[in-house]
Amino acid sequence: MNWIELAVSTTHEGVDLLGDALIEAGVAGFSVEDSVEIAEFIERDLPIWQDVDEQLLESLHTPYCRLVTYLADNAEGQKMLSLLTDVCQRVKAMWPAVDFGTLEFSVRTRKEDEWADAWKAFYKPFPVGERLLVKPEWETITEEQAKGRVVYISNPGMAFGSGDHATTKLCMLALEKHVKGKETVLDVGCGSGILSIIAALLGAKKVLGVDIDPYAAEVAAKNAAQNKVEHICSFFAGNTLGEDFTLPGEDTQFDMVLANIVADVIIPLASRLAAWTKSGGLCMISGVLHTRIEEVRSALEKEGFSALEQTEENDWCALLLRKD
């Protein structure tokens, strides 16, 4: 199969709002190439990350910001491409005070094998919080870079969860803070398995991940093996909103429940999240825009949760709640 590579030219100011709109429209995932964020990262972490690509440094002389996504090169993909043209214009109209740049589309066809590896050139090792480090499988790091950190070896493939999106980072920071060891964890919407595996690496004794996409569950299992926690983590595919959905096994309550998914899934799932969380257990919610966080909080509090803390990055929010 061939794929349509769509790159939308935008700005540092507008890229998060644009990305939110694309997700709401049905885009499964995207990458962001933002010269401002790259420059900030290099300035902040250069004492540790000395090996910076010269071509990358050269590109920073001219500010740029692109949102890149891939669509199937078929009738459905063409339909989505047409829809995204309208979506971009609607976003611009909804936020007139925001500079979104040109919103110019650059479209080209990628062959399956070319597309599958093209993103790897932009996916480099990066630290998260005080103790975590995400390292792509094909990259190498020094002892100094890894010192004092739990290293997650990543290969997300086509599944969501590379670790560099704000929603995933917020969850990773919460896991770093609250996983003490020996916990049981449920990861709802596990994607590539990154949060499940990091929970295991931090000391959780049993982790179960579920995703609606069978491919994601397959990738997550491979990533668990890559990180040598396959004896702790297990994954399966299923629709958690389905009327007949049930968790496998006898232990259907967990010390921690993770849900890095959108508000429109979390809200109708609130009663099940409560049922899956032990009394006194924690529920970590992410993937929610700040405009909808109170709606999500209210739905969860009605099911017996108490909010402990809220964290934010850009326009995204995460909630940590305790089951009463």
Domain CATH code at residue 39: 3.30.70.120
Helix ranges (H only) for the chain are 15-25, 35-45, 54-59, 75-94, 112-118, 143-146, 166-178, 194-201, 214-226, 263-276, 293-301
Q: Of 170, 208, 211, which Cα lies nearest the Cα of 189?
A: 211
**Total number of domains in the chain:** 2
Is 141 inside a domain boundary?
Answer: no
Residue 119 DSSP SS3: helix
121 within some domain: no
| CATH code for position 264 | 3.40.50.150
Q: What is the pLDDT of residues 202-226, one digit of tens each?
A: 999 999 999 988 888 998 999 999 9
Two structure tokens written together for 39: 């420059």
C-alpha 160/C-alpha 215 separation (Å) is 10
Q: What is the mean pLDDT of the chain?
A: 86
d(CA 134, CA 198) in angstroms, rounded, equals 10
Note down the domain range covering 102: 2-115
Pairing of strands 65-72, 31-34: antiparallel
3-class DSSP state of 155: coil
Q: Are residues 166 and 297 in the same domain?
A: yes
- Beta strands 132-136 and 150-154: pairing type? parallel
Q: How many residues are present in the chain?
A: 324
Q: Considering the domain boundaries, does residue 147 fall inside one?
A: no
Distance CA 19, CA 289 (A): 11
Residues 189, 80 share a domain: no
Question: How much of the chain is in helix, strand and coil states, percent to nearest 5?
Answer: 40, 30, 35
Last residue of a domain, one of 85, 115, 145: 115
Domain co-membership, 180 together with 270: yes
Question: Which structure tokens are listed for 315?
Answer: 């326009």
pLDDT digits (tens, 9 = 90+) for 254-281: 999 999 998 999 999 999 999 999 999 9
Is 201 found in the same domain as 96? Answer: no
Which of 89, 71, 91 is CA-nearest to residue 81?
Answer: 71
- Check whether residue 172 and residue 28 sit in a common domain: no
Which positions ≥6 away from 2 have C-beta within 8 Å?
Answer: 73, 109, 110, 111, 112, 115
Q: What is the DSSP secondary structure assignment for residue 75, as one 8-state letter?
A: H
Q: How far is CA 102 from CA 44, 64, 86, 107, 109, in A?
A: 29, 11, 14, 15, 22
Q: What is the pTM of this model?
A: 0.65
Q: Are residues 277 and 190 in the same domain?
A: yes
Of 53, 87, 115, which closes a domain? 115
Q: Which two tokens stand for residue 5?
A: 């590579």
Q: Are 300 and 283 in contact (CB under 8 A)?
A: yes
Two tokens, residue 309: 């803390």
> Which of residues 92, 115, 138 is at a domain's end?
115
Q: Dihedral through CA 148, CA 320, CA 189, CA 227, nearest 10?
A: 10
pLDDT per residue, tens digit, the chain (324 aa), is 788 999 999 998 899 999 988 888 888 788 888 887 766 665 655 444 444 455 544 555 567 789 999 888 899 889 999 999 999 999 999 999 999 999 999 999 887 666 556 656 666 778 888 888 888 887 888 888 888 898 898 875 544 445 567 888 899 999 999 999 999 999 999 988 999 999 999 999 999 999 988 888 998 999 999 999 999 999 999 999 999 999 998 889 999 999 999 899 999 999 999 999 999 999 999 989 889 999 999 999 999 999 999 999 888 899 999 999
Q: Are 35 and 59 in contact (CB under 8 A)?
A: yes
Mark whether 295 and 166 lie in a shared domain: yes
Considering the domain architecture, whether residues 313 and 168 belong to the same structural domain is answered as yes
